[in-house]
Amino acid sequence: MAAPELPPAPRPSAEIASYHAHIYYDPTATRELAARLRQWIGERFLVRLGSWHDAKVGPHDRAMFQVAFARDVFATLVPWLMLNHQGLSILIHPNTTSPRRDHLADAFWIGTAVPLHGEVLPDYDEAEQALQPNTTPHLPA
């Protein structure tokens, strides 16, 4: 196997326009856990909580809801999720101009990794800027 080609320069982190956390759950077994986690997040972080998807959607192979957040929220939200995921699987991915790479190559998991079909995503798209938050945090993280 040939050695991978060395990149001429590192990718700047400014490529990242925003982030998503996808919180997976089982509609019959762990929806209540997910609902409590969702409430806890909304009470503590300025984010956009997405719709519940009890059925598979997009590249996601399990029920989940999305948490969209700005770059400056990452440093507080992500460590908090590491401590509070309660056994749920969470996918964290950046939003750049390559949704496929964001999900398949550059994402990471909190909890157990579950199947993901990133190959259905476009290789190029406009990077998603942080969505308008819909939470009103009032508790410390």
What does the alpha-carbon distance between residue 55 and residue 1 come to, in Å, rounded to a whole number?
A: 40
Residue range at the interface with Zn ion (CB under 5 A); choices 15-23, 27-35, 69-77, 108-116:
15-23
Residue range at the interface with Zn ion (CB under 5 A); choices 13-21, 43-51, 79-87, 110-118:
13-21
How distant, in Å, are the alpha carbons of 47, 79, 126, 139 from that of 92? Answer: 14, 11, 19, 23
Give yes or no for residue 53 binding Zn ion (CB under 5 A).
Answer: no
Closer to Zn ion at the Cβ: 20 or 44? Answer: 20
Q: CB of 20: closest distance to Zn ion in angstroms?
A: 3
What does the alpha-carbon distance between residue 54 and residue 28 come to, in Å, rounded to a whole number?
A: 10
Give yes or no for residue 60 binding Zn ion (CB under 5 A).
Answer: no
Using the structure block, give the residue that is written with the tokens 């945090």: 137
Residues that bind Zn ion (CB under 5 A): 20
